[in-house]
Amino acid sequence: MNLLALLTLLVVVGLPAVGNAQAADAPATSSQPATAPPLITAPPEAAPAEQTSPAEQAPSDRPLRGHLLPPEWQSRRPNYFVPRVLAGTVLGTLAGTGGLIGGFLIGLALEKDCNPFDDVCSSDEIFVQTAPALLATGLLSSLTVYGIGSALHGEGALSTTLWGGFAGTGLGALLMVATQSYGGIVLIPPLAAIGALVAYELSDSEWEREQVKARLGGTSVQLVPVVGVTQGGGVLGGLAGRF
Task: Characterise 203 by phi-psi region: left (phi > 0), alpha (psi -120 to 50), beta (else).
Answer: alpha
Q: Give the up-direction half-sphere exposure of residue 124: CA atoms within 13 A in the CB hemisphere.
A: 1
- How far is 170 from 191, CA to CA, in rounded Å? 9
Would you give per-residue pLDDT tens digits along the chain (243 residues)? 556 666 666 665 665 555 554 544 445 454 555 565 665 555 555 555 555 554 444 444 454 555 555 555 555 678 899 999 999 999 999 999 999 999 999 998 998 888 777 767 788 888 888 999 999 999 999 999 999 999 999 999 999 999 999 999 999 999 988 888 777 899 999 999 999 999 999 999 998 888 877 777 655 566 667 777 777 777 676 767 665
Instruction: Count CB-CB contacts under 10 A for residue 63.
Output: 13
* DSSP per-residue codes, 157-226: -HHHHHHHHHHHHHHHHHHHHHHTSGGGGGGHHHHHHHHHHHHHHHHHHHHHHHHHHHHHT----EEEEE
Is-contact 104 182, C-beta < 8 A?
no
Q: Considering the entire predicted model, what is its pTM?
A: 0.59
Burial class of residue 168, CB neighbours in 10 A (0-12, 13-18, 19+):
buried
Burial class of residue 189, CB neighbours in 10 A (0-12, 13-18, 19+):
buried
The C-alpha angle 87, 91, 97, rounded to 5 degrees, equals 155
Q: What is the pLDDT of residue 148?
A: 96
